[in-house]
Every structure is written in structure tokens, then in C-alpha cells.
Amino acid sequence: MRRLLLGAAAAAVLTGCSAGVPAEEDAGGPATAPAPATAPETTEAEAAPGAELPVTRFDGLSNEHVEGTVAYPEVPPVGGPHNARWLACDVYDEPVPPETAVHSLEHGGVWITHRPDLPADEVEQLAALRALDEEYVLVSPFDGLPAPVVVTAWGVQLQAGSAADPGIEAFVREYAGGDQGGEPGAPCRTGGLTLDEAREAVGAG
């Protein structure tokens, strides 16, 4: 099952960056995807909220809506050009299109990514963190991660050695539903695309 069923089904799919606003109005219509996206500026690592694990911040991220796939400079991406539709924040057992997940980050989502070979009990531990904020927590495997678990909000990222690292929960509590993406109050689970819809939206279906 591509998308694990957790909680009630999402509301009807919305478009654009805020509820009820068509994507064409929200960003002046889709543009052509840059290849690759411009690497953002990074700042010195700092202490994660409530933990000693370092987080890295990224500045100068574009909010542009684009079509197709994007070659992001970070793994996983921390923001930048993205699809005009967002992926529903949920727990997935397959990789998700980054272009729609980045839009979820813009809405205040926290994206918990893990290596595909992470032990099953650790994956379950990460999935359980969705209970902290069912609207804004997204969990999925991701190939090529620099650490077993990488947790990302718009413009900020934390690398962790295992699902047991306390900085992961602290990060989720700090950033889930936050305004770091510039769109406080925009939905993530509600109105978001399913995995199949997201793949179709970026041409990866």
C-alpha cells in the first residue's frame, strides 16, 4: 500500500498555495522547471530546539511554481522551486515526488525522511511522530540520504543517526505547522495530493 491509511480521509483536493486559490492565480501560472535549482545560501549549524543535534539553515530559497521535475542541490530538498500542488502530509512506504513535498514544506510541513533500509522498528518509531501533528508531518523513505534519518522544514534541516535521536521529536514540535515557509495556516494533509496524483503532477507517474 503506497499511502498508509492514518486518520480520516483528506478533504477534496485544493490547488495553489492557499485553500480555494487556483494555482494559476497563486503564482501567475506554472513556469518551466529550472535544472538544476539554484543552491541556497547556508548558515552555520546551530543547536536544534531542545536537543544538542545540529541543524543547518538555508537562505535565499525560491517559492516559484514550476512544471516537471527539479534537480535540487540538497538531499532531501529544503525548499526552492516546486510543483503548484502539494503532497498530503501522511506516512508513505514509498519515495514521494520531491517537487510536491517541497510545496508541503512551504505550507509548514515537516518532512521526516529515512533510508529505505532503516530497520522496520525505527520506521514505525518515525511514523508514530505523526501523532504530534497529523496535519503537518510527512514521513517517507528517500534514497541517498547523508544520514539514516533527515528531518526537514522549509529552510532548516537536521541529520540524525537513528529514529531514537531526541532531536527529531524536538524538531517536529518546533516546526510542524510553523510559518518558516511563508504561508502560515495553509493546509498540508487537508487538500493534498495522493502519491499517485503527485507522481502524475510532476510527470513521474
pLDDT tens digits along 189-198: 999 999 999 9
More confident residue, 189 or 35: 189
The pLDDT value given to residue 48? 47
pLDDT band at residue 91 under the 50/70/90 scheme? very high
Bridge partners (DSSP) of residue 32 are 67
pLDDT surpassing 90 at residue 205: no
The pLDDT value given to residue 53? 55
Cβ atoms within 10 A of the Cβ of 35, count? 11
Mean pLDDT taken over the chain? 82
pLDDT surpassing 80 at residue 175: yes
For residues 63-74, average pLDDT: 96
The pLDDT value given to residue 54? 79
**Assessment of whether the complete model's pTM goes beyond 0.85:** no
pLDDT surpassing 60 at residue 5: no
pLDDT digits (tens, 9 = 90+) for 93-140: 999 999 999 999 999 999 999 999 999 999 999 999 999 999 999 999
Residue 198's alpha-carbon distances to 11, 131, 141, 149, in angstroms, are 16, 23, 16, 23
Q: What is the DSSP pairing of strand 31-32 with strand 66-67? A: parallel
pLDDT surpassing 80 at residue 14: no
The 3-state secondary structure of the chain reads: CCECCCCCCCCCCCCCCCCCCCHHHHHCCCEECCCCCCCCEECCCEECCCCCCEEEEEECCCCCEEECCCCCCCCCCCCCCECCCCECCCEECCCCCHHHHHHHHHCCCEEEEECCCCCHHHHHHHHHHHHHCCCCEEEEECCCCCCCEEEEECCEEEEECCCCCHHHHHHHHHHCCCCCCCCCCCCCCCCCECHHHHHHHCCCC
More confident residue, 145 or 29: 145
Task: Measure the CA–CA gap between 185 and 181, rounded to whole angstroms.
Answer: 11
pLDDT surpassing 50 at residue 43: no
pLDDT digits (tens, 9 = 90+) for 148-161: 999 999 999 999 99
Q: 156 phi and psi, to 5 degrees?
A: -150, 140
